[in-house]
Chain A
Amino acid sequence: SQQGEEDPQALSIQEGENATMNCSYKTSINNLQWYRQNSGRGLVHLILIRSNEREKHSGRLRVTLDTSKKSSSLLITASRAADTASYFCATDARGFSGGSNYKLTFGKGTLLTVNP
């Protein structure tokens, strides 16, 4: 079963606009990660945010985490055509003893299309 669910499933914007994708999850987590996948290629790690962090930045990426709402958002600013890809959130659920359960579970992704 999917732990994380991204929203929207698809997003189409113009170059230069900002893109926001959301992720909701079900159980307590140790960390949440965002990955990017170009069509048919391997996933590439973008950013990791730990459960005790609320916001993190990396270049044009901004990730927020609200553990009370079990949700995260990924903001890509000043988007480029090269940002066209699927974006996935992945959660490392907390195990029985509070540590990791060693499973990184992915959502079904948001397909972002950036039009030139």
Chain B
Amino acid sequence: DSGVTQTPKHLITATGQRVTLRCSPRSGDLSVYWYQQSLDQGLQFLIQYYNGEERAKGNILERFSAQQFPDLHSELNLSSLELGDSALYFCASSVSLNTGELFFGEGSRLTVL
């Protein structure tokens, strides 16, 4: 158990809909990372937050947004969903701003029909 909690574990929705994925980092970790994993694209870095502030952005679509709240949990919002958004979405956390060891949650599997 990494100590990182992601909900929901599975989500099935339709094209055009909006979903919110939630992540609680390990106790004491200030950095939260979001990754998308699909068969064709592999593990893609989406965005990183540190202590509530956005610190790095990767291949995150404009239809996607994220935030980190004062209690350090984070949410990833996916809107106007398309079939191609079906993937495993991982949250990871680390103690510091610099990228040392990341602790991954078990992921949220999103299926868009």
Q: A residues near B, CB below 8 A?
A: 2, 30-31, 33, 35, 40-45, 48, 88, 90, 92, 99-109
Contacts and interface: CB of A to CB of B under 8 A. Distances in A.
Contacts of A2: 42
B2 A104 contact: no
B101 A42 contact: no
User: Interface on chain B toward A: helix, strand, loop, or mixed SS?
Assistant: strand
A100 B50 CA distance: 14
Contact of B33 (A100, A101, A104, A108): A104
B23 to A, nearest CB: 11
Contacts of B88: 40
Contacts of A108: 42-43
B56 interface: yes
B85 interface: no
Interface stretch (B13-21, B67-75, B104-112): B104-112
Nearest to A95: B56
Contacts of B2: 42, 44
A99 B105 contact: no
